[in-house]
Structure 1
Amino acid sequence: MTQKQAMEIAYNWHYDREYSFYDMEADQEDLKEFIDPVKRGSSVYSVMNHHELIGYFTFTQTDAETYDIGLGLRPDLTGQGLGSAFLRSGISFGERSFNPKRLTLSVATFNQRAIKLYKNFGFKETDIFLQDTNGSTFEFFKMVYEY
């Protein structure tokens, strides 16, 4: 991901209603990490469609066989049935690039739209935990996808 792309996501991507929880500016610590090229490192990848930034994926190795992923689809593209193809493309990239045995992700429990997508793709809930973020404490599911 380029610095220009990171700044675009951080300051110009704003989600509607309860999904504003996922705005980068909602959590100053996450924002600082995302816009700092050193902290962002090589774990964040842009998703492009004909030279247009449409999303991003993060891949962080957590053990020898597991990568934790994060993802974001551009706000104006959400809710249009694109999630499955978007997730599939990111998972395929991760498979080719890292050859993991499993993928994990965390998702806020209120985000039923994303949870349904992840379950349909084959992710399973493995844990529930509380996370301090965005100035409060929120409940999250940890989900895993095994190859």
Structure 2
Amino acid sequence: MGYEFEIMSQEQAEEIAYNWHYDGEYSFYNMEADKEDLVEFLDPQKRDDSYFVVTKDNDIVGFFSFNEVTKNTIDIGLGLRPELTYNGNGLGFMEIGLEFAKSKYTPEKITLSVATFNQRAIKVYRKMGFEEGNTFMQDTNGSSFEFMEMILQC
């Protein structure tokens, strides 16, 4: 059985928000690290139909969010189940997410933002064809952090 996408349910959002915990500097990505992000992630109206869980053999392996920035540009967010990170799973996970985005939204461009310290994710995005865009400071997790926009021409 392959990967399947389904709109994120409230139960799945709560599972991810409260039970997925990353180690070390990557704890930055724990949902509980930023109260505003947590509230938004847990609000079904704010998630609407733009958040999808990815399952394999009925287990959640990750999630994607897809937000239309312009008519031709989709901005994505994503999370890979913590125990699946740093094991070579990122590239395959990104491939299925991009395939889904391209087939569902037919964008000309896909963007994402990544914390600049997250070099392992940046490496995966580069391999997928994303190019580096502008860097910017963003207030999150009780401080201000540098992020980089990455852009993929479809």
TM range (shorter): over 0.9
* Map of 1:99 onto structure 2: 106
- Determine the structure 2 residue equivalent to 1:65: 72
> Unaligned 5+ residue runs, structure 1?
none
TM-score normalised by structure 1 residue count = 0.99
The match for 1:132 is 139
Q: Please give the per-residue CA displacement for 1:88-111, whole angstroms capped at 9, x wherever unaligned.
A: 000000111000001000000000
Cα RMSD after superposing both structures: 0.4
Offset, 1:45: 0.4
* Structure 2, unpaired ranges of 5+: 1-7
The alpha carbon displacement at 1:126 in A equals 1.0
1:55 to 62, 78, 92: 62
Which of residues 5, 9, 15 in structure 1 aligns to 2:16?
A: 9
Question: Aligned letter for 1:31?
Answer: L
Cα deviation for residue 5 of structure 1 reads: 0.4
Partner of 2:4: none
In the TM superposition, residue 55 of structure 1 has moved relative to its aligned partner by 0.3
Give the one of 120, 126, 133 matched to 2:127.
Answer: 120
Distance 1:60 1:101 in 2: 14
Tell me the number of residue pairs that the alignment of Structure 1 and Structure 2 aligns: 147
% same residue:
55
TM-score (norm 2): 0.95
- Supply the AA of the counterpart residue of 2:114: V
Q: Which runs of 4+ in 1 moved over 4 A?
A: none
* Aligned counterparts of 2:136 and 2:20: Cα–Cα separation in 1: 27
CA distance in 1, matches of 2:89, 2:32: 24
- Please give the alpha-carbon distance, in whole angstroms, between the structure 1 residues aligned to 2:127 and 2:103: 21
